[in-house]
Chains A and B, each alone.
Chain A
Amino acid sequence: MTIPLIRVDHLSKVFRVPEREPGLKAAMRALFHRTYRQVCAVQDISFTIGEGEIVGLIGPNGAGKTTTLKILAGLLYPTSGEVTLAGYIPWQRRAAFLNQIGMVQGNKSQLLWDIPAMDSYHVLSEIYRIPMRQFKETLDELVRLLQMEDLLTRPIRNLSLGERMKCELVAGLLHRPKVLFLDEPTLGLDVTTQNRLRLFIAEYNRRFGACILLTSHYMADVEQLCPRVILIHNGQLLHDGALQGLAERMAPFKLIRVTLDGGVAINRGLPQLPEGAELLERNENHLILRCSRSAAPVVTSCLLSACPVTDLTVEDPPIEAVIDQVYREGIA
């Protein structure tokens, strides 16, 4: 049996946070006595990730995604549990380990604000001991993929958010990390730029075979990039597998959209609904029905034989709706 690139075993992390009530009195009390609360950011999580995988880490705000990411990157000590990444224990922060990981965060910058990205890259190449030839090769390739030749020589503060993100990505990838942590990489970007970055991430993964761990609140990121998602909610792992699988588990029904022949349908009134189908919406001669996954074929054929159907589609409920349901209610 081969050892997976990342192995997380019964990982837990508990924080102690100070608590304070509002108001002057509470403020005075807090002068002398502070109360604390234990918060379980991550509870007993286990998973493994292989080389070259792209995995999406999803969950609502405060679910424990960032904590998990930080533990994997060696920035946080866990309270209990074991983690190995490429054979290293992350929080020992060995140089050899740090050389294999890269991190890019949508809301934080690792570049120097007042000088062009190129100069920051030179500093990074020294820090990561990147040989000059490899540095040039990697930089050329990344710059070509991101189409950002003209950004290298301008001070970061003069760049737009999207341009800055491109520069951040290059900064995180210059040393060709084996594992890349992307924390909300598309935060605040316009749709076009988001798309371009997604294409880049997928291309980078294909070309360099890097393992990518991505957190995002944009479902489009996850849908397009991640064959596998890990859903964390209230610090617990709720789902590990394909996004589609989550949708099927969470929403075991299909939506059927039907358009009826106008004149005939209105004269005849509503046809008898097939068993197991439920009318969600009716707008003139357009209908939306819901039925369980297993009943879908029967319902469809009933409709086709009983009604003057001009158009019919069967679809899954939108992923956003499913995720919204999970975030609000968890998984039953």
Chain B
Amino acid sequence: MNHRGGWALIKRTWMSWIQDRGFFFVLAFGWMIPPLVALFAWMAAAGNGTIAGMDRRAFAGYYLVLVLVNQLTYSQTNWTLGDIIREGMLDSWLLRPLSPFYQVLSSEVAGKVVYMVFVIPATGLLAILLQPKVDISPSRLGLFLLALILAWGLRFFWGYWLALIAFWASRADALLAVQDSLVFLLSGVVAPIALLSPSLQTAAILLPFRYMVGFPVEILTRPLSDEILLQGLAIQIAWLMTALLLTRIVWRAGIRHYASARG
């Protein structure tokens, strides 16, 4: 792999994104809102009491961490990838002596940096206003970081293979919209998983979506037992492996289709 070219690409992408920072700040602002709306609804619902053991400040803690995790694991790159395949711009990527994966990775890395420049201060400001309560034991911090990285990988590759369906179906971005909705409902955004009805809870635990956002947040802010924690990590890793496998299969088949279908 051509790592030098890859790094140059990452640097260039980041530079051009920093110049258009306003654009990306606005995007990040938009992504922050749905979890915040849910937070305000739960804070109002809790009033001065608690719901399933969570009071206002516990909700605030859960959701502010969730805003950060959601932003770190969300990859808008997958949306762009579909457009690029659809508009036939993939050719120019394939012509370069560089794995096309770097193209995707460069905007992914550039994006994370630029978004965080906005999201971290914004969350900080909200923390001052809402006075969240988060009990962090140092031992959980490491696990949180591990789960966070796995969550990013899972969400990224899950979206990646869905986006690659664009090789066959021009409106494959609809699949990404479905994924976004399911993430909203089943990954702990609309409500912490523990507050869902039993059937939704079961679905959330078995399907991959909780492991894209909610799981790392729960590690940091909810008292999970060791057993549940290990079970969660196992499911998360299993889904990540599935996503990687699917990405590999779909990319190979897609490139073959792309090269043959366009003559």
Contacts and interface: CB of A to CB of B under 8 A. Distances in A.
Contacts of A27: 15, 18-19
Interface residues of B, number: 4
Contacts of A30: 19
Interface string A1-32: 00000000000000000000000100110110
What 8 pairs between A and B have smallest CB-CB spacing? Answer: A27-B19, A24-B15, A27-B18, A27-B15, A30-B19, A31-B21, A28-B18, A31-B18
Given A27-B15, A27-B19, A31-B18, 5 more contacts: A24-B15, A27-B18, A28-B18, A30-B19, A31-B21
A24 B17 CA distance: 11
Contacts of A31: 18, 21
A220 B213 CA distance: 64
8 contacts: A24-B15, A27-B15, A27-B18, A27-B19, A28-B18, A30-B19, A31-B18, A31-B21
Contacts of B18: 27-28, 31
Q: Which of A27, A28, A30 has the most CB of B within 10 A?
A: A27
Interface string B12-31: 00010011010000000000
A32 B235 CA distance: 47
Size class of the A contact interface (CB-based, 8 Å): under 10
Contacts of B15: 24, 27
Interface in B1-41: 15, 18-19, 21
Nearest to A24: B15
B182 to A, nearest CB: 32
Nearest to A22: B15
A28 B19 CA distance: 8
Interface in B198-250: none
A136 B217 CA distance: 68
A74 to B, nearest CB: 31
A11 to B, nearest CB: 35
Q: Which of A24, A30, A31 has the most CB of B within 10 A?
A: A24
B21 to A, nearest CB: 7
Contacts of A28: 18
Contacts of A24: 15
A24 B19 CA distance: 9
A27 B18 CA distance: 8
A143 to B, nearest CB: 34
A31 B21 CA distance: 9
B37 to A, nearest CB: 31
A31 B19 CA distance: 8
Contacts of B19: 27, 30
Interface in A112-163: none
Nearest to A28: B18
A199 to B, nearest CB: 37
B17 to A, nearest CB: 10
A205 B18 CA distance: 52
A28 B117 CA distance: 14
A84 B176 CA distance: 55
A28 B21 CA distance: 11
A30 B19 CA distance: 8
Nearest to B21: A31
